[in-house]
Structure 1
């Protein structure tokens, strides 16, 4: 009799468990930001890479824009200034940041690892959404073109010193590397080669005779000249790239759609007079972008073997 009661208890327990399981909702793969119970944003975290020589200068240049954008969506802003280009991309990809002003190559690298990242705008410089990578030398250098510099470095007893920038830089590393790849040349064998310098150090390195040739981008040379850091007349451009897409404004994956739309509209509709007060010198506003204009950067990444 005891045995029968014990069996009845077990069967009743099993039936109760089946009822509970049957009534439990099946988990979904809905992303946290789109889930009905997702916590609303309480602030917007913005990030920017090392465009200017010091973090304080970077913050001074970009914080006004980020604060204004946050005001548009009625949220406080928190601004992070990264020490290197790859760092800011990784912070966005890891969801430490909501929105970032990235370099084109940094965006392509981050997008490659996290397809959920989305471009919402491309900045305009002197009313154009493009810029140029350059290789520069001193104005009195005994060569005027990259071809001449390559020939001199190969034929003379002493190799010319070439400095490329941070490997996360579009204009300072990726595009010059792609140019050498297209020529079927290895800069490490042709030149006395170094890489990793900040853009701010590149022109100064050339002018101070530390290197013979250095990479940079036209916008940065304008900034250094305007700030009195260099005399651009003492430099010459020995090579210039095709037009490259300017920097993108990128939002993390799972970013709220409504806020993304509001930010994009605020950027694209930024009045010219307000752009002068909110953006660094010569930056004049934004165009809408879905990221497709960065295809040439992706192609360059493939050509140098950094992307597949």
Structure 2
């Protein structure tokens, strides 16, 4: 009877999932929030994979902006992160940080991942040179600090005509691309930095409203931000990289791709290629 009870208890213990050691430091997995996507859900398969690879518990961390995410990775407050280009150009110069994988996004999606500068047609600004000359009297909207297609690339083209956001009468952080477009349509701003896709959607669905606006500039296709890992006692970046680039990375890729407009449809990761990012720099 006693032996039967012992065997029963042992079988019950064996059937329970293994608990990760509570004494080991937690691996913090992070990104930045965006109102249109539940990025905590998008990160969950990545966090689960890291637990399997590292044998450590994970904690999902959501920062307010790409710039805040970059600061958290560089300071060691986030160990593994899904970035955008804006965050990555700041992160890559930080010590002990490594880009470990990039979502292999379909080429048709990548071709639409561009930034644009748009002005109100009634302002009469038709070129970048005219924009530079009149910036001091205009209100400017961008999406949020560190947004790739709604701030970063537009700041780069503004520098080419010796202008920057602080040259404008005011700068507004709209929060989303659609909100930045709405700033133009409602008169809160005369110039806005947004991704091309919302602009194309406005052209297709509301041509009369789009006719009130003027396309000043359109970027080339942009690379998506990589997954990065900060080397420390709590992270095994090489092991995490191998898992992402291997067969088990597919579930993680599919979930992450649903959290970003520019990565939609990715089902696997590919190796990070530094040359794709050489043209971009932090301010």
In the TM superposition, residue 231 of structure 1 has moved relative to its aligned partner by 5.4
Counterpart of 1:48 (choices 16, 21, 31) is: 31
**C-alpha separation between the residues in 2 aligned to 1:108 and 1:277?**
20
Matched, 1:79 2:60: yes
1:275 is matched with: 254
In the TM superposition, residue 145 of structure 1 has moved relative to its aligned partner by 4.5
In the TM superposition, residue 119 of structure 1 has moved relative to its aligned partner by 0.5
1:181 is matched with: 159
CA contact 1:164–1:214 (8 Å) conserved in 2: yes
Q: What TM-score, normalized to structure 1? A: 0.64
2:138 is matched with: 160
Counterpart of 1:212 (choices 190, 210, 234) is: 190
Which has the higher Rg, Structure 1 or Structure 2?
A: 1
In the TM superposition, residue 159 of structure 1 has moved relative to its aligned partner by 3.2
**C-alpha separation between the residues in 2 aligned to 1:147 and 1:290?**
32
**C-alpha separation between the residues in 2 aligned to 1:218 and 1:263?**
33
Matched, 1:132 2:114: yes
* Cα distance change of structure 1 residues 291 and 49 upon mapping to structure 2, 3 Å threshold: farther
| Local SS of the residue matching 1:245 | coil
In the TM superposition, residue 283 of structure 1 has moved relative to its aligned partner by 4.0
| Local SS of the residue matching 2:100 | strand
Matched, 1:192 2:169: yes
CA contact 1:136–1:214 (8 Å) conserved in 2: yes
| Local SS of the residue matching 1:284 | coil
CA contact 2:30–2:60 (8 Å) conserved in 1: yes
**C-alpha separation between the residues in 1 aligned to 2:256 and 2:230?**
27
Matches within 5 A, 1:221-260: 221=198, 233=207, 234-235=209-210, 237-254=215-232, 255-260=235-240
Matched, 1:70 2:85: no
CA contact 1:275–1:284 (8 Å) conserved in 2: yes
Q: What TM-score, normalized to structure 2? A: 0.68
Aligned residues: CA RMSD? 3.9
CA contact 1:124–1:246 (8 Å) conserved in 2: no
2:38 is matched with: 57
**C-alpha separation between the residues in 1 aligned to 2:49 and 2:184?**
38
Instruction: Kindly report structure 1 stretches of 4+ aligned residues shifted beyond 6 Å.
Output: none
Matched, 1:293 2:276: yes
CA contact 1:163–1:211 (8 Å) conserved in 2: yes
Matched, 1:119 2:108: no
* Cα distance change of structure 1 residues 277 and 66 upon mapping to structure 2, 3 Å threshold: closer
* Cα distance change of structure 1 residues 293 and 163 upon mapping to structure 2, 3 Å threshold: same
**C-alpha separation between the residues in 2 aligned to 1:297 and 1:135?**
18
**C-alpha separation between the residues in 1 aligned to 2:29 and 2:173?**
25
CA contact 1:65–1:279 (8 Å) conserved in 2: no
CA contact 1:164–1:196 (8 Å) conserved in 2: yes
**C-alpha separation between the residues in 2 aligned to 1:125 and 1:232?**
29
In the TM superposition, residue 170 of structure 1 has moved relative to its aligned partner by 3.1
In the TM superposition, residue 279 of structure 1 has moved relative to its aligned partner by 2.2
